[in-house]
Structure 1
Amino acid sequence: MTIDEAINLNKPIIIKAYSVSESIEHYIKLVLAKILQKHNCEVLLIPLYTAVKELVVNAVKANQKFIYFEGKKSYESVFFDSEKALQLFRLEMTRSDAKYLDTLARKNDLHALTTITVIDKKLCIDVENPTPMNETERDAVAKKLKIAQQCEDITDYFLQAEEDDYKEGAGLGLVLITMMLKGMGLTQSNFIIDSDYEKTIASIIVPLTQATLQEYQKRISETTPKIA
Structure 2
Amino acid sequence: MSHNLVEYAISESKTLTVKTISYLSRERNYIDRVLKQYLNEIEKPFLVNQVAYCLHELAGNANRANAKRVYFDERGLDISSSQDYIQGLTTFRQDTFSQIDKFHAKQKAAGLYIKIDFQLRDESLRIRVRNNTPLTNEERDRIHQKFETNKKYTNIPEAYNALEDYSEGAGLGLVMILQLLNNLGFGEDALHVDTNGKETIATLYLNAEDELYNLALNNY
TM-score by length of 2: 0.85
Q: Residue 118 in 1 paired to residue 120 in 2? A: yes
* Match for residue 8 of structure 2 among 5, 8, 29: 5
Alignment of 1:24-35 (within 5 A): 24-35=27-38
For 1:157 and 1:149, the matched residues in 2 are separated by 10
Task: Give 1:205 deviation, angstroms.
Answer: 0.4
Contact persistence 2:130–2:200 (CA under 8 A) = yes
Contact persistence 1:158–1:167 (CA under 8 A) = no
Task: Give the 3 Å change call, closer, same or farther, for CA 7–23 of structure 1 in structure 2.
Answer: farther
| Partner SS for 2:86 | helix
**Could you list the runs of 5+ residues in structure 2 that have no partner in the other structure?**
none
Contact persistence 1:12–1:115 (CA under 8 A) = yes
Counterpart of 2:139, as a letter, is: E
Counterpart of 2:67, as a letter, is: Q
Q: Which moved more, 1:102-111 or 1:145-154?
A: 145-154
Task: Give the 3 Å change call, closer, same or farther, for CA 90–167 of structure 1 in structure 2.
Answer: closer
Task: Give 1:216 deviation, angstroms.
Answer: 5.2
Sequence identity of aligned pairs in percent? 25
Task: Give 1:209 deviation, angstroms.
Answer: 4.8
Aligned position for 2:70: 67
Task: Give 1:195 deviation, angstroms.
Answer: 1.9
Task: Give 1:68 deviation, angstroms.
Answer: 1.1
Counterpart of 2:211, as a letter, is: A
Aligned position for 1:153: 155
Runs of 4+ in structure 1 displaced over 6 angstroms? Answer: none
Task: Give the 3 Å change call, closer, same or farther, for CA 15–29 of structure 1 in structure 2.
Answer: same
Aligned position for 1:132: 134
For 1:6 and 1:208, the matched residues in 2 are separated by 19
User: Larger radius of gyration, structure 1 or 2?
Assistant: 1
Task: Give 1:61 deviation, angstroms.
Answer: 1.0
| Partner SS for 1:32 | helix
For 1:150 and 1:39, the matched residues in 2 are separated by 34
For 1:43 and 1:209, the matched residues in 2 are separated by 17
Aligned position for 2:100: 98
Task: Give 1:40 deviation, angstroms.
Answer: 1.3
For 1:84 and 1:217, the matched residues in 2 are separated by 48
For 1:122 and 1:217, the matched residues in 2 are separated by 13
Contact persistence 1:115–1:126 (CA under 8 A) = yes
Alignment of 1:33-112 (within 5 A): 33-73=36-76, 80-95=83-98, 97-112=99-114
**Could you list the runs of 5+ residues in structure 1 that have no partner in the other structure?**
219-228
Task: Give the 3 Å change call, closer, same or farther, for CA 28–147 of structure 1 in structure 2.
Answer: same
RMSD: 2.5
Contact persistence 1:17–1:60 (CA under 8 A) = no
Contact persistence 1:130–1:198 (CA under 8 A) = yes
Task: Give 1:106 deviation, angstroms.
Answer: 1.8
For 2:25 and 2:140, the matched residues in 1 are separated by 30
TM-score by length of 1: 0.82
Task: Give 1:115 deviation, angstroms.
Answer: 0.2
Task: Give the 3 Å change call, closer, same or farther, for CA 34–152 of structure 1 in structure 2.
Answer: same
| Partner SS for 2:120 | strand
For 1:137 and 1:122, the matched residues in 2 are separated by 29
Contact persistence 1:144–1:167 (CA under 8 A) = no
Task: Give 1:93 deviation, angstroms.
Answer: 2.4
